[in-house]
Amino acid sequence: MNRLAIYVLAAFALAVPAAVLADANQYNDPAMSFTAPADYRAVPVPSHDPAVFQDPAIVAAYIKDPGKQSFSQIMLRMQNFEGNTEGIEMTTETDMRNQGTDVFIKKTATKLPNGMPAYWQEVTIGSGFDQMKVYQYVWADGVRGVQLSITSRYGAVDEPTAKRALANVSAVAYPKYRY
């Protein structure tokens, strides 16, 4: 997780009026749906074709307590990927490890609440006072690799809290011949 992206999203959320952000806590496309918890505010992200990506792209972002030590953010990232869930998990893990030397990843094969195969990753990035924690679901839908993550300073969000915040997600195989 790029720390600069986290800080830019947090700063952008502070600059956008709450009224603009208040009604956008849902992300829906032909293969997935996610609703962020009510205490998170949506951060405007440019719209994007849900099936075509040049690089991993943020398609939705939500933030809680911007500017505070206890801030957390939820990000939905996607990239072109036609492989299976194991393949996207390895790709995601490699990308995170390439961002720095202090990256520790614990992963578990799981399923999303609607039964879609996924991986749950617990990632610790950095050391000392700059240490960040990322919890995320990673899955592939036949067209894309998808990461739904919650990021915070170490200790601000624990695993049960992260799972509750990301629980309102469902995904299926992308219906690529219908669109």
> Confidence band (pLDDT; 50, 70, 90) for 178?
low
- Domain 3-171 bears CATH identifier 3.40.1000.10: yes
**pLDDT score of 1:** 45
pTM reported for the whole predicted model: 0.83
The pLDDT score that the predictor gives to residue 14 is 39
pLDDT at 69: 84
Domain ranges in the chain? 3-171
* Region 5-11 average pLDDT: 42
CB atoms within 10 A of CB 1: 23
Mean pLDDT for 107-117 is 96
CB 149 within 8 A of CB 1: yes
